[in-house]
Amino acid sequence: AALNHPNICTLHDVGPNYLVLELLEGETLAERLRRGPLPAGEVMTYGAQIADALHCAHSKGITHGDLKPNDLMLTKAGIKILDFGLARMDGEAEGTAGAAGQLAHPALGTPAYLSPEQLTDRAREPRTDIFALGLVLFEMSTGSRPFAGNTRAELAEAILRAEPPLDRLTPPEFAHVVERCLAKD
């Protein structure tokens, strides 16, 4: 509720068993990706909107911690980040109640979108979201994820050790941005 940004879904009210969120019309990025990669112009536009929204959250000390295509809604007005349910506030100790009242633990999140920090039990921080942004940018551009594995352990190993196939990205400046986002350290 502390976030007010055009690319972040507005939280209007919170109760013991409910959330009242902004009504959005559109489809999730995950739904859109089932039809294939996005055109380069849309990748750049949406990528800039996501980065700006994350910057807003990070400037308020909030790390999303589980950014993925299911948490991104494509609307007529642009892209919106949803579901800060695993969000973590700066200075909040791991293993304590998070911003949304849930337990903040580095291993929580969607396996294919976990950062090296989350996989090695280091604290989530803004760089966690930057890594996830790189994963999302790659997937929007190519229609596939940069790291794969048949099991959670294989996927974690790929995220920690494998280099993403950046040669699939164009132009080279965009590949460089994704490369920086997906840096292991």
Cα–Cα distance, 34 to 174 (Å, whole number): 22
Q: How far is CA 183 from CA 24, 76, 91, 116, 179, in A?
A: 33, 32, 24, 9, 6
Catalytic status, residue 66: yes
Active site residue: 13, 52, 66, 129, which one? Answer: 66
In 10 A of CB 61, how many CB atoms?
Answer: 14
CA distance 40 to 56: 24
Q: Which residues are catalytic?
A: 66
